[in-house]
Amino acid sequence: MQSDETILQVKSLKKYFPVEKGLLRRQVGQVKAVDDVSFEIKRGEALGLVGESGCGKTTLGRCVLRAIDPTEGEIILRKSDGAVVDITALDKGELRQLRKEMQMVFQDPFSSLSPRMTVLDIIGEPLWAQGVRGQALEARVRELADLVGLNVGHLNRYPNAFSGGQRQRIGIARALATHPGLIVADEPVSALDVSIQAQILNLLQDLQEKLGLTYLFIAHDLSVVEHIADRVAVMYVGKIIELADTEALYLNPKHPYTEALLSAVPKPDPRLEEREIILSGEVANPADPPSGCLFHPRCQYAQDRCRQEKPPLEEVAPGHFAACHFAEELELTGVAM
């Protein structure tokens, strides 16, 4: 890793799912869900990962935690003691040991909590897995419940007694139980009601400040991501096509897809009369991707070169990466700040 500041470095990560057919499950192709993705996150930073459904953002998040095994690539994590490990090279036992360093917050506050366990058991599960029992476990769970704003008196209840927002707090408390440095939050607010989303976003921000957490924040909602992320990576069909500081990316996107995404977000302001870019067509099929730049069939600026040549992710401005042949020539519109 380049600097001590980096907590996570992902190098050329690939995850291909085989496409099988027939009685004998013959492999007839593969879906490149994540295709050669590299990025790094600094300690205490929140990296937003945005994209439409099927772009591979969830798969990427799960690979980083090795909830699923990547096909290729390296995932290097700096542990809290400063040691550096490649997660992809660990065996089962070593991986279990490492679990306390990185945790996940789920999208669905209903399916992510076992209906058969009390809140105490749910929040305490990562501790239990580390061998913490009895008083010590309960004390830590109380502390966590307090931290995320749950009523400590309700720990013996079952999740079905809680509303969506409270359940998401339970999920967050569980993720924080073992003092992890890295949290992968996969759409943590998208299943919540509008008035609850803000509560949870604020909570995540407060916790980050208080505990110095690092977030990989996966979401489809650009306004939510803008709110919480320091830097944002935009994914399209398994690849990162733009990566930059949040402000730079929103104000001054360098990839036509980012521009279209920003423009497509319905803005809660009826006085805003802006030129809207309506993309034609739909997201490319990752099992049968187009040639050249994956975005070219929908891109209004596409030229011949785009149809033939895959654009690499290149630094077009300091800290601003984009995968577009014309990133430096195009004048793209962001959102007005």
The tokens of 247 are what? 């402000």
Q: Which is nearer to other proteins, 12 or 202 (CB)?
A: 202
Minimum gap (Å) between residue 4 Cβ and other proteins = 24
CB of 216 to other proteins, least distance (A): 13
Pick 202 or 291: Cβ nearer other proteins: 202
- Pick from 30, 199, 252, 333 the residue near other proteins by CB under 8 A: 199
Residues numbered 119-138 forming contacts with other proteins, rule: CB under 8 A: 122, 125-126, 128-130
Stretch that binds other proteins, among 6-14, 189-197, 306-314, 318-326 (CB under 8 A): 189-197
224 touching other proteins, by CB under 8 A: yes
Q: Is 279 in the site for other proteins (CB under 8 A)?
A: yes
Contact status: 153 vs other proteins (CB under 8 A) = no
Q: Does 289 bind other proteins (CB under 8 A)?
A: no
151 binds other proteins (CB under 8 A): no
**Measured between alpha carbons, how far is 166 from 324 in angstroms, rounded to an integer?**
42
Applying CB under 8 A, the site for other proteins has a residue count of: 91
Q: Which is nearer to other proteins, 4 or 143 (CB)?
A: 143
- Rounded to whole angstroms, how far apart are CA atoms 245 and 242? 10
Contact between 195 and other proteins by CB under 8 A: the answer reads yes
Stretch of 36-44, 72-80, 219-227, 303-311 contacting other proteins, by CB under 8 A: 219-227
Q: Out of 22, 82, 115, 134, point to the residue binding other proteins (CB under 8 A).
A: 115
Q: Decide: is 263 part of the binding site for other proteins (CB under 8 A).
A: yes
Of 4, 5, 146, 282, the one binding other proteins (CB under 8 A) is: 282
Selected range binding other proteins among 1-9, 140-148, 166-174, 315-323, rule: CB under 8 A: 166-174
State which of positions 48-107 bind other proteins (CB under 8 A). 52-53, 65, 67, 96-97, 99-100, 103-104, 106-107
